[in-house]
């Protein structure tokens, strides 16, 4: 079986979908690099660092609070924040 439009197999389409997040992150990094003055420090914040398995309301509150504190700290340091 293959796509009628592009002739890609199901495995190829699944592989492309799996690579999508990485490709999107690379494109975003290039946009930030091009549009940011060289003297500006840029910090990437991956949400997966703060949000893993959230099984309770308390776990959600704690994760959001950790993220909030981290973002505010970076903002106070004057860095440009890119959330991934």
Does position 60 have pLDDT exceeding 90, yes or no? Answer: yes
| pLDDT value of residue 52 | 83
> How confident is the model over 32-55, as a mean pLDDT?
86
| pLDDT value of residue 39 | 80
> How confident is the model over 31-45, as a mean pLDDT?
84
DSSP sequence for 49-80: GT-S---SHHHHHHHHHHHHHHHHHHHHTT-E
> How confident is the model over 43-71, as a mean pLDDT?
92
Burial of 2-22, coded b for 16+ CB within 10 Å and e otherwise, reads eeeeeeeeeeeeeeeeeeeee
Q: What's the whole-model pTM score?
A: 0.62
């Amino acid at each position: 079986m293959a796509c009628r439009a592009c002739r890609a197999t199901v495995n190829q389409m699944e592989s492309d979908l799996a690579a999508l997040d990485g490709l999107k992150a690379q494109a975003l990094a290039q946009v930030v690099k091009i549009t940011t003055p060289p003297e500006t420090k840029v910090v990437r914040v991956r949400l997966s660092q703060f949000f893993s398995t959230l099984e309770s309301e308390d776990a959600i509150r704690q994760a959001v609070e950790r993220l909030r504190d981290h973002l505010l700290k970076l903002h106070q340091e004057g860095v440009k924040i890119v959330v991934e």
